[in-house]
Structure 1
Amino acid sequence: MLQSHGQKVRLGPTLVLIKDATKRLVRKRAKHYDQRVKEARLKIWRVMDCICGKRLAAMLPELVPILQRHGQMKVDAETRDKLCQISAATIDRLLSAEKKKWALKGRSHTKPGTLLKQQIAIRTVSEWKDQPPGLVQIDLVAHEGGDAHGDFLQTLDVTDVGTAWTETQAVRNKAQKWVVEALEAIRRRFPFPWIGVHSDNGNEFINAHLVRFCHHHQIAFTRTRPYRRNDNCYVEQNNYSVVRRAVG
């Protein structure tokens, strides 16, 4: 009835109603998911290796009965029904605080490369559709345990775009020498020859060693746009699912 602050409405000969926008009635929404649902959902999320809400929501109707059948979860019928009906957005919202506890800080150790990168062509995310086998994306995954001082183990992750074939190799640090040696070891293990290598703009890749490596093996060398991780999305998605799940 009252649309703006200070508006007056006469309700009678002597009664005038004046709206005050600073005084609003706050209605508290009743909680639909109680503590039992939250605890069960958290347990399932951990069992499924902390997957995203969209994947978890699609799996819950099938997963909850399986966990009950094998004695891994004891919930009543009401809690089970709520678990099977919960939406992906609600799962992500309820898990937001828990995800923050597990989030690693400062995982990126990529530093800008040298002027050499101006000689290396850029390839964007839109150019990776329907590619033949042999075009690989590469990335390094650091295992510093939260302390980036000194040397620590790295994993070189190499993913073929066309087939999703993935190979990894341990590297003692980000020195260009070790990275190229690891690339050569992976190249020899691959079931098909490489025709292209694609990396981010880190100086562990944008260097003369890797340029010579690609030139020697007649491999095209391309790079991502600065700060555009999606340009290297095929290997980026494997950094967790393949590397961090196994190594940390």
Structure 2
Amino acid sequence: MMNMQSRNQYLVELRIEYLKTKSRKKQGELLDEAEKRTMLNRKYLMDKLRPKSNLDKIASERKKRKQYYDNSVKPALIEMWRIFDCPCGSRLKTSLEDETDRLRSLDELQCSDVVAAKLKQMGSATIDRKLKHTKQIELARKKYGKKHPLLYQSILVKVFAEQNRNILGNIQIDLVEHCGASASGQFVNTLTATDISSGWTEQSAVMGKSQENTYFGINNVRQRRPFLWKEMHSDGGIEFINDHLYRYSVRIGLGFSRSRPYKKNDNCLVEQKNNTHVRKLVGYLRYDTQEEQNILNDLYNNELRLYKNFFSPVIKLVLKERAGGKIRRVYDKPKTPYQRIMESSEISES
């Protein structure tokens, strides 16, 4: 079935042929065909096919209906929406009816009597329609808005190709959540720190994602290091990009860089360890007690640390080249992280 736009386009073309035809019989046949296609009344079609009809009207020139809830109402509506914690139209409608006069008397809402009367009359569907654009702006601001822009500008962005894999001490760090099916409340997180040259990995279980707990976790894994940390590289989460951790890196002379937003490949090696060292062993259940945190830390400090760093060989990408439509990768001989560290020229024999 035709919509209005396609139907009018069809009638415009038909009108040219209809007005050129002098035979009444032929015009009748054209009307029969149009009646069948458009499902319109015959008399209405004859009015449409006149030399001058509403088919010639341009949509932009049509007289628009005057809005009852015009732009004078919208600022007050948005203010009320924010006062009542951004509810849906059905909930806000009740608040508008009951609280508009009270908020005006307390000088919390500045609007005229006319606007106040319109707010109390407004239906839930109208409220949602008027607030649609404002809600879209708020969502975009939450998703793409800058967080601590000055601090983010102070920390260098590095892609994976810019991170030096030939020297020890360049560390990628990340947090793995153990929240189960619900992210509400406090729960244990695993802090993973991986050296991108040797593959040496240290881990620590911290409660929550607070700046202080993340700092203690980083300091804990750093104290167990067999070599000097030169730079740490994290994602853009506020658990890492904060003044507390930035001042710590400056105080001890530790380099600090971050990934691009939504680009996990900039932190790809530690993302691999999140799977092989954490998820495959710990799983996806929720851990939110001190006892469970202590059990994880005992595992990370002893058996898992020794096994992964001293007895589990890893391979390292040496060369990657494109041959036609395929990418050829060359890897070196598998070695444990301990062997790679001992073979490094940066480790003294003593």
TM-score (norm 2): 0.38
The structure number with the bigger radius of gyration is 2
Deviation at 1:113, TM superposition (A): 4.6
Residue 177 of structure 2 is aligned with which of 118, 142, 147? 142
> Is residue 154–residue 174 contact of structure 1 (8 Å, CA) maintained in 2?
yes
Change (3 A) 1:191 1:113: farther
Partners in 2 of 1:246 and 1:223 — Cα distance? Answer: 27
Aligned counterpart, 1:196? 231
Matches of 2:266 and 2:175, distance apart in 1: 15
Q: CA deviation at 1:127?
A: 1.4
CA shift for structure 1 position 129: 4.9
Equivalent residue, structure 2, for 1:168: 203
CA distance in 1, matches of 2:237, 2:229: 21
Q: By how many angstroms is 1:242 displaced? A: 0.4
Residues 156-207 of structure 1 show CA distances to partners (whole Å, capped at 9, x for unaligned) of 0100011110010000000000000110111010100100010000000000
Query: Does structure 2 retain, via aligned residues, the 8 Å contact 1:112–1:201?
Result: no
After TM superposition, give the deviation of residue 230 of structure 1 in Å: 0.3
Q: Distance in 2 between matches of 1:202 and 1:186?
A: 19
Relative CO higher for 1 or 2, CA cutoff 8 Å, sep ≥ 6?
1
Q: Equivalent residue of 2:217, what SS?
A: helix
Deviations 1:77-103 (A, max 9, x none): xxxxxxxxxxxxxxxxxxxxxxxxxxx
> 1:214 is paired with a residue of what secondary structure?
helix
1:114 CA drift (Å): 2.4
Q: TM-score, normalised by structure 1?
A: 0.54
Matches within 5 A, 1:15-164: 113-115=147-149, 116-164=151-199
Aligned residue identity for 1:154:
N
Report how far residue 131 of structure 1 moved.
2.9
Distance across 2 between alignment mates of 1:139 and 1:112:
21
Alignment of 1:205 with 2:240, yes or no, is: yes
Q: Aligned pair in 2 of structure 1 residues 207, 152: CA closer, same or farther (>3 Å)?
A: same
- CA change 1:129–1:194 in 2 (3 A) is closer
Task: Give, as a single letter, the amino acid of the residue that structure 2 aligns with 1:114.
Answer: H
* Partner residue, 1:243: 278
- Which amino acid is 1:147 matched to? S
* Runs (5+) with no aligned partner, structure 2: 1-144, 284-350
Letter in 1 for 2:205: A
User: Distance in 2 between the 1:242 and 1:126 partners?
Assistant: 24
Q: Aligned to 1:138, what secondary structure does the other structure show?
A: strand
Equivalent-residue separation in structure 1 for 2:185 and 2:243 (angstroms): 24
Matches of 1:122 and 1:183 in 2, distance apart? Answer: 20
Per-residue deviation at 1:128?
2.8
Local SS of the residue matching 1:174: coil
- The superposition leaves residues 92-151 of structure 1 with CA deviations (integer Å, 9 ceiling, x where unpaired) of xxxxxxxxxxxxxxxxxxx97522111110110111353311000000000001110111
Aligned length: 138
Give the 3 Å change call, closer, same or farther, for CA 185–124 of structure 1 in structure 2: same
Q: Could you tell me whether the CA contact under 8 Å between 1:112 and 1:202 is conserved in 2?
A: no
In structure 1, what is the Cα distance between the partners aligned to 2:282 and 2:146? Answer: 26
Stretch moving more, 172-181 or 126-135: 126-135
Unaligned stretches of 5+ in structure 1? 1-110
Q: CA RMSD in A?
A: 1.5
Equivalent residue number for residue 74 of structure 2 = none
User: How far apart are the structure 2 equivalents of 1:246 and 1:214?
Assistant: 31
The reply on whether 1:224 has 2:259 as its aligned counterpart is yes
Structure 1 counterpart SS, 2:176: strand
Identical positions, percent: 43
Runs of 4+ in 1 over 4 A off after TM superposition: none
> Aligned-pair distance for 1:226?
0.8
For residue 259 of structure 2, what is the amino acid of its counterpart? T
